[in-house]
Amino acid sequence: MTEDSVAESPEVSASAPPESRAPKSNILKSPWFWAGACALSIAGSTIAITSVNQTYFGPERQVSQYFELLQSGRSDRVLGLLKAKVPTGDAVLLSGEPFKASLKGLDTSNLDFVTAGSASDPDQRTVTATYKMGSTEQQTTFRLQKTRTDWLFFDHWEFVPVTLPTATVQAQYSPQVDVNGSASPLTADGGKPKDGGPAWKAQSYPVLPPAMVNASYETKFIKGPQKQQAITSFDQAAPKISLGAEASDSLSDYIDAQLKSYLDECASRQVLKPAGCPMNYDTNARVRSSTIKWEILQYPEAEVTLTPKGWEVERLHGRAKIALEEQDLDSGERATVQEEDPFEFSAAVTVNGNRVTVTPDAFDYDPNNKT
């Protein structure tokens, strides 16, 4: 073997067999390989883009943001997001503490969405959100419109503009009410009730669903116990919260005080039967009026209720004692007598704002009649 042949032998042995390189080179040069790779890449990108579009740019994301803004107390931004029209009324429930109070009990920890398309508009969706208000599951439905597509792939959704729903609060015996902790005047005429009594006074309150409206009132003598109304739909007909009326403790105390004054005046008279008063003592003996002394042992306690005819006081019961000196008409003997006299009577009550009139009505009571 020559030196030249020996020197060349490593070159030959280091070279890979031609057949071992051919398949790899052919695959990389194949247009079908690159077409498949591109197809897989596009498919993966499409799936990723679709997922991102649905998660971060879908209509559900707008509704989720709506609830986030609600719970952060940003009612101004919520109104802007909705492009909402605010109807006439007292807007006390759209800001501040009354707005925050309307959301008490709202639980979105398990917030769930169901989205549906529109048969009339392919670019419109309805999203129904399910959540809890207190212990009750509630739902609110939103309508959204696709307004454009950004960067060729990402949809832009906006709420279809709505008019906010309202709640109407009305009362007969108060010119103002407490709504979610805030005083609000009743300015509208609510009409005359069918069963009589004063005319209703009313007010409308725009709200951002879901909202809980709490209304009540308390004047010096009358109170309207709190009533609650949940508003969860933008299409909900305005619910009417009609506040009743109950006698406050102050009204009962005031009536009791007036009745006490009335009975004390009756007891001050030195007669056997004070005119217009429920006490009475009968005897056939001769009695000197100077010896007569009435004393009220038990004053009645008024129980006041509201009826279609107005305020009524339950039948009143009390007890009096009379002490006097009697002289027998036959023998002329004198004797000191003490007798208890259980009695009952009625009273009429009228309430006009903070003015209360109490009239004992069973005996034609006249405080100026001293006979």
The one-letter amino acid at 80: G
Q: What confidence tier does 30 reach under pLDDT thresholds 50, 70, 90?
A: low
**What confidence category does residue 353 fall into, taking pLDDT thresholds of 50, 70 and 90?**
confident
pLDDT(370) > 90: no
Is the separation of the CB atoms in 269 and 289 below 8 Å?
Answer: no
**Residue 52 binned pLDDT confidence (cut-offs 50, 70, 90):** very low
Q: Strands 347-352 and 355-360, how do they pair?
A: antiparallel
- What is the structure's pLDDT at 152? 56
Per-residue b or e along 255-280, where b marks 16 or more CB atoms closer than 10 Å to that residue's CB: bbebbeebbeebbebbbbebebbbbe
pLDDT at 355: 87
Which backbone phi and psi does 45 adopt, to 5 degrees? Answer: -65, -40
pLDDT for 307: 84
Q: Which residue has the higher pLDDT, 169 or 119?
A: 169
Per-residue pLDDT at 29 exceeds 80: no
Give the separation between CA 64 and CA 154, rounded to whole angstroms: 18
Which one is predicted more confidently, 252 or 11? 252
The string of pLDDT tens digits covering residues 69-125 is 999 999 999 999 999 999 999 999 999 999 999 999 999 999 999 999 888 888 899
User: Cβ atoms within 10 A of the Cβ of 243, count?
Assistant: 22
Residue 85 DSSP symbol: B
For residue 263, the number of C-alpha atoms closer than 13 Å in the C-beta half-sphere is: 28
Q: Across-strand partners of 205? A: 167
Q: Report how far residue 243's alpha carbon sits from residue 315's, in angstroms, rounded to the nearest whole number.
A: 27
CB 224 within 8 A of CB 95: no
With beta carbons less than 8 A apart as the criterion, state whether 142 and 114 touch. Answer: no
Could you tell me which of 183, 173, 170, 169 has the C-alpha nearest to residue 304?
Answer: 173
Residue-wise pLDDT tens digits, 227-250: 999 999 999 888 999 998 999 889
What 8-state DSSP symbol labels residue 362?
T
Does the predicted TM-score (pTM) go above 0.85? no
The answer to whether 313 and 346 are in contact (CB under 8 A) is yes
State phi, psi for 126 to the nearest 5 degrees: -110, 135
Residue 66 is predicted with a pLDDT of 96
CB 95 within 8 A of CB 73: no
The C-alpha R_g of the chain, in whole angstroms, comes to 43
Q: Kindly report, residue by residue over 287-337, the tens digit of the pLDDT.
A: 999 999 999 999 999 999 888 778 899 999 999 999 999 998 888 889 999
Please say if the pLDDT value at position 6 is more than 50.
Answer: no
CA nearest neighbour of 173 among 205, 204, 197:
197
pLDDT at 27: 56
pLDDT of 261 over the 70 cut: yes
**Burial track 339-353 (b if 16+ CB lie within 10 A, e otherwise):** eeeebebebebebee
pLDDT at 121 (0 to 100): 85
Q: CA-to-CA distance for 108 and 66, rounded, in angstroms?
A: 12
